Structure formats: C-alpha cells, structure tokens
C-alpha cells in the first residue's frame, strides 16, 4: 500500500533510507596502510572470533524469514543481513591484509539455520541481546587496540550494531503489543542471558558444539579474551545493566536486577 505522497507505510522503508545515508564501504578503510608493527596476536584472535560471529547472519536471515510472516520486518532483515555480511567480509579483509587466512570449514559450518525461539518475541529478544552485547564489546575493543585500521573497523561495526539493536527493539515492541501473551518468553530470555557472570551470546549458545569449530576460535573466544584482558572492572555488570534497561523500556517493567526479572517472570506466568 502506498499512502498519499507515494511513500510505503513501512518502518523497514525508513530503516532502508537511514542506512542508505550512513552506510560505509570496505573501500573507505585503508587496509593497505595497516601498521603491521602494531598488530598483536590478541588482535588476530579477536578478529578471527569476530569473523566467526558475523558468519551467522546467513543462518539468522534464514530463520527470520521462515519464522516471521511479516513483509515489513523481512525488509529490515534484508538490510540487517547486508550489514552483518559486510562486517564479516571487512574482518576477513583485515586478516588477509596481515597475512592470516580463515579456513573454510568453520565458517561454512555456521550456515545451518537457527531453530525458532519459543515465541517470535523470544527470537527478537535474543537478537536485541546479541546486538547490544556486540555493540559494547566492539566499542571497548576499539578503545583497546593500537592498530588504527582495526580501531576504525571496530568503531564502524559497533555503531552498526547499536542501530540494529534499536530496530529489533522496535519490532519486538510491535510484536508484544499484538501478542502480549509472549511476554513471559521475553523475560525468560532476558534472564537466561544475563543471570550469570559471563557473556552469553546466541552464537555461542547454539553453535559452539559443532565439530568444525572444536579447534578454532569462536565468538566465545572473543568474549573470554575481552573479559580476561580488555574489560575494565565492573564492565560486565554495566553491559548486563544496559541490556536490562533496554528490556525495561521494551516492557515497561522494573527489570533492574536479576531478582526483579525473576519476580516479573513469575507474575507474568501467574
């Protein structure tokens, strides 16, 4: 449907126009100017792990398009998938520039689609968490690395992930308004991913057991490195607090502690 003025009445159209204006390209990054003297082994480990995490956008798009019978959301998924694939290729380009080649098998093992969530709202909640997590980690890694091209790449990817989180929140808010009975699944998802003193990410939860990645870096490798040597004191708490605040804004509930998340879940199930 095209309303007066000729513009489609879809949020996905607005997202497309916004992304079109802010989009960056691999050609803008001076990979030929990488300062090899500043490249440390930990940087390579972090980037290889990021390649593995971003490789899952293909599987995620497959899952979204199968689970959601929603043209508007599907248009966002197409734009989102492009940006995530761009991150994947950008990190691989940085590795190529420093003489590191990614093996094919671990990346190709990421292709299998995810199983749908317990509800569509839970699927959206999971992706809100993943985007907020990677946004935070990429931003912190950018401040930590001493190689300028990688720093710029991490900052660009971090900004993209912040935008993705915002849009997943939009679609989750719309889904919950139409299906309020899915609220318990959202609260359960929040609790599962933020109730432990570690970073949990859907890629690690669903793909870490694959034989093809047994002897290779995974996204969990990046998170372990982040917590062991990059994160400042209390940073994990700040990350999880930020996630809970986003879900509080989504649901209108006080979710400021794990105990309150449990209580709101019990109330929603009563």
C-alpha dihedral, 184 to 190 to 192 to 194, nearest 10°: -150
User: Where would I find the H helices in the chain?
Assistant: 11-22, 41-54, 57-67, 71-97, 104-108, 120-144, 148-178, 183-194, 202-207, 219-225, 235-251, 258-269
pLDDT averaged over the chain?
93
**How does pLDDT run across 66-116, given as a tens digit for each residue?**
999 999 999 999 999 999 999 999 999 999 999 999 999 999 999 988 888
Residue 26 within a domain: no
Residue 107 in domain: yes
Query: Pick the residue with more confidence: 234 or 20?
Result: 234
Quick one: pLDDT band at residue 4, thresholds 50, 70, 90? very low
CATH number for the domain including 136?
1.20.1260
Q: How many domains does the chain have?
A: 1
Between CA 33 and CA 38 the distance in angstroms is 12
Give the list of residues 6+ apart from residue 85 with CB closer than 8 angstroms, or none. 54, 57, 58
Residue 104 lies in a domain: yes
- Pull the structure tokens for residue 22: 């802010």
Torsion, CA 157, CA 159, CA 160, CA 164, rounded to 10: 130
Q: What is the pLDDT of residues 236-261, one digit of tens each?
A: 999 999 999 999 999 999 999 999 99
Residue 22: inside a domain, yes or no? no
223 located within any domain? yes
Specify the long-range contacts of residues 174-180, CB closer than 8 Å, at least 24 apart.
175/120, 175/121, 175/124, 176/121, 176/250, 176/251, 179/119, 179/120, 179/121
In a domain, 7, yes or no: no
pTM flag (> 0.85)? yes
C-beta neighbour count of 147 within 10 angstroms: 19
- In this predicted model, what pLDDT tens digit does every residue of 15-67 receive, in sequence order? 999 888 888 999 999 999 999 999 999 999 999 999 999 999 999 999 999 99
For residue 122, being part of any structural domain is answered with: yes
Whole domain around residue 194: which residue ranges?
36-269
Residue 29 counted as domain residue: no
Nearest to 27 by CA among 118, 75, 89, 107: 89
């Amino acid at each position: 449907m095209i309303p007066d003025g000729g513009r489609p009445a879809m949020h996905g159209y607005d997202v497309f126009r916004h992304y079109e204006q802010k989009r960056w390209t691999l050609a803008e990054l001076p990979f030929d100017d990488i300062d090899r003297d500043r490249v440390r082994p930990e940087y390579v480990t972090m980037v290889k792990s990021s390649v593995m995490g971003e490789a899952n956008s293909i599987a995620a798009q497959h899952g979204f398009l199968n689970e959601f019978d929603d043209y508007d959301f599907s248009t966002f998924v197409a734009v989102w998938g492009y940006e995530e694939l761009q991150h994947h290729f950008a990190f691989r380009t940085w590795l190529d520039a420093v003489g590191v080649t990614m093996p094919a098998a671990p990346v190709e093992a990421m292709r299998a689609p995810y199983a749908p969530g317990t509800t569509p709202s839970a699927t959206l909640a999971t992706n809100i968490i993943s985007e907020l997590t990677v946004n935070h980690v990429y931003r912190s890694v950018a401040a930590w690395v001493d190689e300028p091209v990688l720093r710029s790449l991490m900052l660009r990817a971090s900004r993209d992930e912040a935008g993705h989180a915002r849009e997943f929140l939009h679609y989750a808010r719309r889904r919950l308004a139409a299906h309020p009975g899915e609220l318990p699944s959202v609260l359960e998802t929040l609790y599962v991913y933020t109730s432990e003193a570690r970073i949990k990410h859907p890629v690690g939860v669903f793909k870490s057991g694959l034989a093809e990645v047994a002897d290779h870096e995974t996204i969990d490798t990046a998170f372990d490195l982040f917590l062991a040597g990059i994160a400042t004191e209390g940073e994990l708490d700040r990350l999880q607090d930020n996630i809970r605040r986003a879900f509080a804004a989504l649901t209108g509930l006080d979710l400021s502690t794990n105990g309150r998340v449990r209580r709101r879940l019990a109330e929603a199930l009563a």
